Structure 1
Amino acid sequence: MGTQLLAQAISTSNTNLRVLYLGSHGITYEGAYRLAEMLKTNRTLNRLYFFENNLGDHGIQLLAQALAHCDRSLSHMDLNGSTLESD
Structure 2
Amino acid sequence: MPSHRASTGCSAYGEGDAPDAGALSRQGQGTLEYALVVAAFLAMFVGAAALWKMLDAGLPVQHALQSASHHISSAAPGAFSDVFMY
In the superposition, the TM-score normalised over structure 1's length comes to 0.21
Structure with more helix by fraction: 2
Q: Which has the larger radius of gyration?
A: 2
Which has the higher relative contact order, 1 or 2, with Cα contacts under 8 A spaced 6 or more apart? 1
Structure with more strand by fraction: 1
In the superposition, the TM-score normalised over structure 2's length comes to 0.21
